[in-house]
Amino acid sequence: MLNPMTSRQCSKVACNNAAISTLTYDYADSMAVLGPLAQRREPHTYDLCEKHSQRLSAPQGWHIVRYSALGEVG
């Protein structure tokens, strides 16, 4: 069971895993940006678990930018 004060669930339907990253889109630049979990939930962003973060793909012609927190490897 997740503590709502300290963690959030993955935004993917039927996934109950804890979120570790936040996904945002920049439609003007055809870019998906995946970074460390944001401090708070924001409209138009998606929190993803490790599995869904690793499997992330973008539409043809789009780019994925992946940011890591300082000290993280990957």
| Per-residue confidence (pLDDT) for residue 72, from 0 to 100 | 58
Domain boundaries, the chain: 6-73
User: 32 or 4: which carries more pLDDT confidence?
Assistant: 32
- How sure is the predictor about 7, in pLDDT bands with cuts at 50, 70 and 90? confident
Q: Do the beta carbons of residue 36 and residue 67 sit within 8 Å? A: yes
- pLDDT above 60 (res 6): no
* pLDDT tens column, 42-71: 999 999 999 999 999 999 999 999 998 666
* pLDDT tens column, 22-48: 999 999 999 999 999 999 999 999 999
Q: Do the beta carbons of residue 44 and residue 24 sit within 8 Å? A: yes
